[in-house]
Amino acid sequence: MPADTEAFTTRDVAYLQHGDRRLMARLFVPHGSGPFPAVVELHGGAWCNGDLNDCQPYAEALARGGISVAALDFRHAGDGYPAALVDINYGIRWVKAHAGELNSRADLIGAAGQSSGGHLAMLAAMRPDDPRYAAIALPSALPAVDASLRAVAMLWPVINPLSRYRHALRARDAAAPPAWVGNIPDRHDLFWKTEAAMADGNPMLALERGEPVPTPPALWLQGRPDPVHDYHDPDGGFAGTEPERFVAAYRRAGGAIDLRIVAQAERADAATLAEVAAFFHRNITPGD
Protein backbone atom coordinates (compact mmCIF):
# COMPACT_ATOMS: atom_id res chain seq x y z
CA MET A 1 0.00 0.00 0.00
CA PRO A 2 1.23 3.55 -0.65
CA ALA A 3 2.62 5.27 2.43
CA ASP A 4 2.36 9.06 2.55
CA THR A 5 4.83 11.20 4.47
CA GLU A 6 4.91 14.96 4.79
CA ALA A 7 7.23 15.22 1.78
CA PHE A 8 6.81 12.23 -0.53
CA THR A 9 4.89 9.07 -1.37
CA THR A 10 6.33 5.55 -1.63
CA ARG A 11 5.19 2.33 -3.23
CA ASP A 12 6.77 -1.01 -4.10
CA VAL A 13 6.56 -2.56 -7.56
CA ALA A 14 8.14 -5.61 -9.19
CA TYR A 15 10.44 -4.48 -11.98
CA LEU A 16 12.00 -7.80 -13.07
CA GLN A 17 11.42 -11.51 -12.55
CA HIS A 18 13.84 -14.45 -12.75
CA GLY A 19 11.70 -17.59 -12.64
CA ASP A 20 9.81 -17.46 -9.35
CA ARG A 21 12.06 -14.72 -8.00
CA ARG A 22 10.65 -11.21 -8.21
CA LEU A 23 12.94 -8.21 -7.91
CA MET A 24 11.33 -5.17 -6.34
CA ALA A 25 11.77 -1.45 -6.77
CA ARG A 26 10.66 1.00 -4.10
CA LEU A 27 9.61 4.29 -5.66
CA PHE A 28 9.84 7.55 -3.72
CA VAL A 29 8.07 10.48 -5.37
CA PRO A 30 8.25 13.96 -3.82
CA HIS A 31 5.12 16.03 -3.53
CA GLY A 32 5.10 18.85 -6.06
CA SER A 33 4.74 19.54 -9.74
CA GLY A 34 8.03 18.16 -11.09
CA PRO A 35 9.53 16.96 -13.28
CA PHE A 36 12.08 15.90 -10.69
CA PRO A 37 15.55 14.46 -11.16
CA ALA A 38 15.33 10.73 -10.45
CA VAL A 39 17.97 8.49 -8.90
CA VAL A 40 18.38 4.73 -9.03
CA GLU A 41 19.50 3.84 -5.48
CA LEU A 42 21.64 0.73 -4.86
CA HIS A 43 22.27 -0.85 -1.47
CA GLY A 44 25.60 -2.01 -0.11
CA GLY A 45 26.55 -5.23 1.65
CA ALA A 46 29.83 -6.32 0.00
CA TRP A 47 27.81 -7.67 -2.97
CA CYS A 48 26.40 -10.38 -0.70
CA ASN A 49 24.08 -8.89 1.92
CA GLY A 50 21.31 -6.34 2.12
CA ASP A 51 18.24 -5.36 0.15
CA LEU A 52 16.32 -2.27 -0.85
CA ASN A 53 15.28 -1.67 2.78
CA ASP A 54 18.88 -0.62 3.45
CA CYS A 55 18.36 2.26 1.01
CA GLN A 56 15.54 3.74 3.09
CA PRO A 57 17.36 6.54 4.95
CA TYR A 58 19.27 7.63 1.84
CA ALA A 59 16.22 7.49 -0.42
CA GLU A 60 14.11 9.40 2.09
CA ALA A 61 16.76 12.11 2.36
CA LEU A 62 16.82 12.49 -1.42
CA ALA A 63 13.03 12.50 -1.68
CA ARG A 64 12.78 15.20 0.99
CA GLY A 65 15.29 17.14 -1.08
CA GLY A 66 13.11 17.03 -4.19
CA ILE A 67 14.64 13.97 -5.88
CA SER A 68 12.57 11.00 -7.03
CA VAL A 69 14.15 7.66 -6.15
CA ALA A 70 13.86 4.07 -7.31
CA ALA A 71 15.61 1.82 -4.77
CA LEU A 72 16.32 -1.56 -6.35
CA ASP A 73 16.71 -5.12 -5.22
CA PHE A 74 19.10 -7.06 -7.44
CA ARG A 75 20.77 -10.44 -7.52
CA HIS A 76 23.92 -10.76 -5.43
CA ALA A 77 25.93 -13.19 -3.28
CA GLY A 78 26.16 -16.60 -4.93
CA ASP A 79 24.44 -15.30 -8.08
CA GLY A 80 27.86 -13.88 -8.84
CA TYR A 81 29.26 -11.28 -11.19
CA PRO A 82 27.85 -9.92 -13.49
CA ALA A 83 24.29 -10.84 -12.38
CA ALA A 84 23.89 -7.70 -10.27
CA LEU A 85 24.91 -5.51 -13.21
CA VAL A 86 22.42 -7.28 -15.48
CA ASP A 87 19.60 -6.44 -13.08
CA ILE A 88 20.81 -2.88 -12.49
CA ASN A 89 21.23 -2.14 -16.20
CA TYR A 90 17.70 -3.42 -16.75
CA GLY A 91 16.49 -1.47 -13.73
CA ILE A 92 17.89 1.79 -15.07
CA ARG A 93 16.11 1.22 -18.39
CA TRP A 94 12.94 0.23 -16.55
CA VAL A 95 13.06 3.46 -14.55
CA LYS A 96 13.53 5.49 -17.72
CA ALA A 97 10.60 3.72 -19.37
CA HIS A 98 8.45 4.41 -16.28
CA ALA A 99 9.83 7.87 -15.52
CA GLY A 100 6.36 9.38 -15.57
CA GLU A 101 5.46 7.30 -12.50
CA LEU A 102 8.29 9.08 -10.70
CA ASN A 103 7.17 12.49 -11.96
CA SER A 104 10.43 12.60 -13.87
CA ARG A 105 11.69 12.10 -17.43
CA ALA A 106 13.92 9.53 -19.09
CA ASP A 107 16.64 12.15 -19.59
CA LEU A 108 16.79 13.05 -15.88
CA ILE A 109 18.10 9.79 -14.39
CA GLY A 110 21.16 9.35 -12.16
CA ALA A 111 22.35 6.70 -9.72
CA ALA A 112 23.66 6.49 -6.17
CA GLY A 113 24.85 3.75 -3.85
CA GLN A 114 26.65 2.99 -0.63
CA SER A 115 29.78 0.82 -0.34
CA SER A 116 29.44 -2.00 -2.89
CA GLY A 117 26.32 -0.21 -4.14
CA GLY A 118 28.46 2.81 -4.96
CA HIS A 119 30.79 0.56 -6.92
CA LEU A 120 27.83 -0.91 -8.82
CA ALA A 121 26.42 2.55 -9.56
CA MET A 122 29.68 3.75 -11.10
CA LEU A 123 30.29 0.53 -13.02
CA ALA A 124 26.76 0.69 -14.45
CA ALA A 125 27.37 4.31 -15.46
CA MET A 126 30.65 3.47 -17.18
CA ARG A 127 29.27 0.53 -19.14
CA PRO A 128 25.65 1.32 -20.07
CA ASP A 129 25.91 -0.56 -23.37
CA ASP A 130 28.03 -3.52 -22.29
CA PRO A 131 26.25 -6.50 -23.89
CA ARG A 132 26.85 -8.62 -20.79
CA TYR A 133 25.05 -6.09 -18.60
CA ALA A 134 22.34 -5.18 -21.13
CA ALA A 135 21.46 -8.84 -21.73
CA ILE A 136 17.76 -8.57 -20.81
CA ALA A 137 15.55 -6.58 -23.18
CA LEU A 138 12.67 -4.46 -21.96
CA PRO A 139 9.20 -5.63 -23.02
CA SER A 140 8.50 -4.49 -26.57
CA ALA A 141 5.56 -2.38 -25.39
CA LEU A 142 7.89 -0.07 -23.44
CA PRO A 143 9.87 2.81 -24.97
CA ALA A 144 13.32 1.99 -26.34
CA VAL A 145 15.79 3.55 -23.89
CA ASP A 146 19.42 2.99 -22.94
CA ALA A 147 21.06 2.69 -19.51
CA SER A 148 23.12 5.88 -19.63
CA LEU A 149 23.14 8.04 -16.51
CA ARG A 150 23.34 11.80 -16.04
CA ALA A 151 25.22 11.77 -12.71
CA VAL A 152 26.49 9.35 -10.06
CA ALA A 153 26.86 9.80 -6.29
CA MET A 154 29.03 7.23 -4.54
CA LEU A 155 28.93 6.99 -0.77
CA TRP A 156 32.14 5.32 0.48
CA PRO A 157 32.27 2.96 -2.54
CA VAL A 158 34.39 -0.16 -2.93
CA ILE A 159 35.70 1.31 -6.16
CA ASN A 160 38.45 -1.26 -6.66
CA PRO A 161 37.25 -4.76 -5.68
CA LEU A 162 40.65 -6.31 -6.37
CA SER A 163 42.68 -3.95 -4.21
CA ARG A 164 40.10 -4.12 -1.41
CA TYR A 165 40.22 -7.94 -1.51
CA ARG A 166 44.00 -7.94 -1.19
CA HIS A 167 43.85 -5.19 1.44
CA ALA A 168 41.50 -7.35 3.53
CA LEU A 169 43.63 -10.47 3.03
CA ARG A 170 46.74 -8.65 4.22
CA ALA A 171 44.89 -7.40 7.28
CA ARG A 172 43.45 -10.85 8.01
CA ASP A 173 46.93 -12.38 7.86
CA ALA A 174 48.34 -9.92 10.39
CA ALA A 175 49.38 -11.15 13.82
CA ALA A 176 46.43 -9.28 15.31
CA PRO A 177 43.78 -8.90 12.57
CA PRO A 178 41.68 -5.74 12.96
CA ALA A 179 37.99 -6.18 13.62
CA TRP A 180 36.94 -4.49 10.38
CA VAL A 181 38.18 -7.41 8.28
CA GLY A 182 35.34 -9.68 9.40
CA ASN A 183 34.28 -11.89 6.50
CA ILE A 184 35.11 -9.41 3.74
CA PRO A 185 37.39 -11.82 1.84
CA ASP A 186 34.71 -14.52 1.96
CA ARG A 187 32.12 -12.16 0.52
CA HIS A 188 34.46 -11.22 -2.32
CA ASP A 189 35.03 -14.90 -3.04
CA LEU A 190 31.31 -15.68 -3.01
CA PHE A 191 30.33 -12.95 -5.46
CA TRP A 192 33.38 -12.48 -7.64
CA LYS A 193 34.76 -16.05 -7.62
CA THR A 194 38.13 -14.99 -9.11
CA GLU A 195 40.57 -12.11 -9.02
CA ALA A 196 40.19 -11.88 -12.80
CA ALA A 197 36.51 -11.01 -12.32
CA MET A 198 37.45 -8.45 -9.65
CA ALA A 199 39.79 -6.84 -12.18
CA ASP A 200 37.17 -6.86 -14.93
CA GLY A 201 34.27 -5.37 -12.98
CA ASN A 202 36.49 -2.61 -11.68
CA PRO A 203 35.89 1.10 -12.35
CA MET A 204 39.38 2.04 -11.16
CA LEU A 205 41.18 -0.42 -13.38
CA ALA A 206 38.86 0.29 -16.32
CA LEU A 207 40.09 3.88 -16.26
CA GLU A 208 43.71 2.91 -15.78
CA ARG A 209 43.46 0.43 -18.67
CA GLY A 210 42.25 3.28 -20.87
CA GLU A 211 38.85 1.71 -21.44
CA PRO A 212 36.70 4.27 -23.31
CA VAL A 213 33.85 4.83 -20.87
CA PRO A 214 31.30 7.56 -20.14
CA THR A 215 32.31 9.76 -17.21
CA PRO A 216 29.16 11.55 -16.01
CA PRO A 217 29.47 14.12 -13.21
CA ALA A 218 30.28 12.26 -10.02
CA LEU A 219 30.43 12.76 -6.28
CA TRP A 220 32.47 10.60 -3.89
CA LEU A 221 31.38 11.06 -0.28
CA GLN A 222 33.91 9.51 2.10
CA GLY A 223 34.01 9.28 5.87
CA ARG A 224 37.32 9.17 7.75
CA PRO A 225 38.74 7.16 9.34
CA ASP A 226 37.42 4.23 7.27
CA PRO A 227 39.94 1.45 6.62
CA VAL A 228 37.32 -0.58 4.75
CA HIS A 229 36.99 1.96 1.92
CA ASP A 230 39.73 4.56 2.40
CA TYR A 231 43.17 2.96 2.25
CA HIS A 232 46.37 2.93 0.22
CA ASP A 233 47.00 0.15 -2.30
CA PRO A 234 50.73 -0.70 -2.19
CA ASP A 235 50.45 -2.35 -5.60
CA GLY A 236 48.60 0.52 -7.27
CA GLY A 237 51.51 2.75 -8.23
CA PHE A 238 49.81 5.76 -6.63
CA ALA A 239 51.02 7.55 -3.53
CA GLY A 240 47.62 8.48 -2.12
CA THR A 241 44.51 6.65 -1.04
CA GLU A 242 42.12 4.75 -3.29
CA PRO A 243 39.58 7.60 -3.29
CA GLU A 244 42.31 10.03 -4.37
CA ARG A 245 43.60 7.58 -6.97
CA PHE A 246 40.17 7.18 -8.53
CA VAL A 247 39.51 10.91 -8.57
CA ALA A 248 42.81 11.48 -10.38
CA ALA A 249 42.03 8.77 -12.95
CA TYR A 250 38.47 10.01 -13.48
CA ARG A 251 39.67 13.54 -14.13
CA ARG A 252 42.37 12.31 -16.53
CA ALA A 253 39.59 10.57 -18.45
CA GLY A 254 37.72 13.87 -18.76
CA GLY A 255 35.20 13.39 -15.96
CA ALA A 256 34.18 15.94 -13.36
CA ILE A 257 34.22 14.51 -9.84
CA ASP A 258 34.17 15.94 -6.33
CA LEU A 259 35.69 14.11 -3.37
CA ARG A 260 33.98 15.18 -0.16
CA ILE A 261 35.67 14.06 3.06
CA VAL A 262 33.66 14.14 6.28
CA ALA A 263 34.09 12.71 9.76
CA GLN A 264 33.11 9.05 9.78
CA ALA A 265 30.40 9.70 12.36
CA GLU A 266 28.83 12.34 10.10
CA ARG A 267 28.88 10.47 6.79
CA ALA A 268 25.15 9.68 6.80
CA ASP A 269 23.72 12.56 8.82
CA ALA A 270 21.07 14.89 7.45
CA ALA A 271 23.42 17.70 6.48
CA THR A 272 25.73 15.36 4.58
CA LEU A 273 22.91 13.64 2.72
CA ALA A 274 21.49 17.05 1.81
CA GLU A 275 24.74 17.61 -0.08
CA VAL A 276 23.99 14.52 -2.16
CA ALA A 277 20.58 15.91 -3.12
CA ALA A 278 22.19 19.25 -3.98
CA PHE A 279 24.71 17.45 -6.22
CA PHE A 280 21.91 15.87 -8.23
CA HIS A 281 20.05 19.17 -8.53
CA ARG A 282 23.22 20.82 -9.87
CA ASN A 283 23.87 18.12 -12.43
CA ILE A 284 20.40 16.95 -13.50
CA THR A 285 18.36 19.96 -14.50
CA PRO A 286 14.86 19.55 -15.94
CA GLY A 287 15.45 22.59 -18.15
CA ASP A 288 18.40 20.97 -19.94
Residue 288 has pLDDT above 70, yes or no: no
pTM: 0.96
Residue 2 has pLDDT above 50, yes or no: no
Residue 1 has pLDDT above 50, yes or no: no
Residue 180 has pLDDT above 70, yes or no: yes
Residue 269 has pLDDT above 90, yes or no: yes
| Confidence class for position 85, pLDDT limits 50, 70, 90 | very high
In the predicted model, what is the mean pLDDT of residues 88-110?
98
Question: Can you list the pairs that 11-19 forms with residues at least 24 positions away whose Cβ atoms lie under 8 Å?
Answer: 15/70, 15/72, 15/90, 15/91, 15/94, 16/87, 16/90, 16/91, 16/94, 16/136, 18/75
* Tally of CB atoms within 10 A around 71: 30
In the predicted model, what is the mean pLDDT of residues 260-276?
96
User: For residue 41, what are the contacts with CB-CB under 8 A and spacing of at least 6?
Assistant: 52, 55, 58, 59, 62, 69, 70, 71, 72, 111, 112, 113, 117
| Confidence class for position 6, pLDDT limits 50, 70, 90 | low
Beta-bridged to residue 22, according to DSSP, are: 17
| Confidence class for position 192, pLDDT limits 50, 70, 90 | very high
28-63 tens-digit pLDDT: 999 998 999 999 999 999 999 999 999 999 999 999
Instruction: Say what the pLDDT of residue 283 is.
Output: 98
Tell me: domain 3-283, CATH 1.10.490.10, correct? no
Sketch the domain layout of the chain as residue ranges.
3-283
206-226 tens-digit pLDDT: 999 999 999 999 999 999 999
216-267 tens-digit pLDDT: 999 999 999 999 999 999 999 999 999 999 999 999 999 999 999 999 999 9
In the predicted model, what is the mean pLDDT of residues 176-205?
98
122-163 tens-digit pLDDT: 999 999 999 999 999 999 999 999 999 999 999 999 999 999
For all residues of the chain together, what is the average pLDDT? 97
Written as one letter, the residue type at 119 is H
